Structure 1
């Protein structure tokens, strides 16, 4: 995953490339006040399926980990679809070693989160803009139909100023696949193996830059789960910490919390770079911690008409 600057203070200190962490200054595009989604008692979503679809392992845990935990707690069955092979995200490992390390971390994330299964599409990291969008879309449509996906969590295909091609290419493929999976004339050969049309009804889109935020999820009850999800991405978080330390050292600076034991340094980094951000987001809406989304839900206009006028046959 391509990282941006670490803290604003590091930019002021001439460390704009310190850790290249994502989206520290996310901007909400003006619009109506967002809906606040809070935890529901019991498991009201039992029987529903979500897919977390991201180009890189750490995208979902960082931007939507609290929401993933919330949906799982409420009865969803979850799947993880990782589009790239994450070969560019490690500290001083070869490409092959990086692929293996992040593959092992992806398995750890699925286990820690309690997701049912992971699907790796294995495209080259930072190279999705050279891959046919149609190819990615067809693979996603197959999985949506196979898994009967009701809800997706992914990057916002309309997020502004996204610098990483993997992010916007994957996001556009997800958005197109969501509605095309419900069309009986799109890839009908898939029906020969028993699949049926199945459109995705709900989308939680996150972004690193400005986006239209119309839903905020209260992740106060699940923030500890989110921290564990991010920590499972060991190779990537270690890269962020060590890269930050290198940049600090080059400017004659040091952060004691990021030095010493690697596990403790990773925990400190997760708190400083991600959970403190979620705390600031939550504070804007009167919450302890929050995650912002461009949410697209099912249209209830036809559903209401059907409910009022349909007859049993």
Structure 2
């Protein structure tokens, strides 16, 4: 069984951007570790910070159970302040976790995506990107080795974003679409805060939208399902998948411009399980 690690700045990010894919991978036997970077202590409406933290943590556990995520690692950095945290401090924590859990693949915000307004997302994405190569160096954080850890390199990087510049792979999540909707709906405290942000902006504009008001004060799951369905349908259509398919889009990277070279000359190791075949990578692989 391979490990996969998800770096989520906030509790709802995994279900919001790759929940269907994670549910699918979990069903296929992957062991998923979710790293929540911040404490989400301010992501609520009308609650104290302590109550906000408590609710968001409980709702994260419920969401993860729906997606099949069995382990949550909380780093508890203060939410909405990662711009003030040294990048090397974030990076060291990520390097440690990569060396500890040895994930075959990671999921993270794309550090090169455009139009990302949330600085926590940006900082985590950049720190993850650096951690992926720093984790290989024995002169970076040798204090980790006192715990029996060793240099380690992740094989696959699955990047998501609000606006990916280019989707290189669309994962068919049609079967697991309900899991994504239910998992994101589980984040009630955060979802109502998002709806309230829209309400405040609409008020400044001088308008109201009845469906937003109804969702904010009542059941928002129907609206959420409609929005996610539209997003996943559009991704599937743009990527040429069959009509009726629902998909999540990623920029997936493995060996970069060395992909063809490694596929041409790679020989399987006898004592290490080989990774899964990926059609979008294996176009260079000889037919077996």
Q: Cα deviation per residue 1:38-91 (whole Å; 9 max; x = unaligned)?
A: xxxxxxxxx111111111111111111111112112211001101111123112
* Partners of 2:24 and 2:173 within 8 A in 1: yes
Asked if 1:57 is matched to 2:11, the reply is: yes
Alignment root-mean-square deviation, CA = 2.5
Q: CA deviation at 1:134?
A: 0.8
Task: List aligned pairs for 1:204-283, cutoff 5 A.
Answer: 204-245=158-199, 251=206, 253-256=208-211, 259=214, 264=219, 266-283=220-237
Q: Cα deviation per residue 1:247-293 (whole Å; 9 max; x = unaligned)?
A: 657745442575279663x2122123323211222222234211111
- Alignment partner of 1:293 out of 242, 250, 261: 250
Q: CA deviation at 1:244?
A: 3.9
Counterpart of 1:124 in structure 2 is: 78
CA distance in 1, matches of 2:176, 2:137: 36
Consecutive aligned runs of 4 or more in structure 1 exceeding 6 Å deviation: none
User: Per the alignment, do residues 216 and 130 of structure 1 end up closer, same or farther by CA in structure 2, a change over 3 Å counting?
Assistant: same
- Alignment partner of 2:152 out of 173, 189, 198: 198
User: Per the alignment, do residues 278 and 263 of structure 1 end up closer, same or farther by CA in structure 2, a change over 3 Å counting?
Assistant: farther
Q: Cα deviation per residue 1:221-242 (whole Å; 9 max; x = unaligned)?
A: 2111111111121111122334
User: Per the alignment, do residues 226 and 304 of structure 1 end up closer, same or farther by CA in structure 2, a change over 3 Å counting?
Assistant: same
Task: List aligned pairs for 1:79-98, cutoff 5 A.
Answer: 79-98=33-52
Provide structure 1 residue ranges, at least 5 long, that are not aligned to the other structure: 1-46
Counterpart of 2:108 in structure 1 is: 154
Q: What's the TM-score once normalised by structure 2's chain length? A: 0.83
CA distance in 2, matches of 1:311, 1:74: 23
Q: Cα deviation per residue 1:167-194 (whole Å; 9 max; x = unaligned)?
A: 1110011111112212222222211211
Q: Cα deviation per residue 1:91-150 (whole Å; 9 max; x = unaligned)?
A: 221222222221221222222222121111111111101101111111111111111111
Provide structure 2 residue ranges, at least 5 long, that are not aligned to the other structure: 272-288
Q: Would you say how many aligned residue pairs link Structure 1 and Structure 2?
A: 264
Counterpart of 1:140 in structure 2 is: 94
Q: Cα deviation per residue 1:142-162 (whole Å; 9 max; x = unaligned)?
A: 111111111111100001122
* Partners of 1:137 and 1:173 within 8 A in 2: yes
CA distance in 1, matches of 2:150, 2:260: 23
* Partners of 1:241 and 1:269 within 8 A in 2: no
User: 2:121 is paired with a residue of what secondary structure?
Assistant: helix
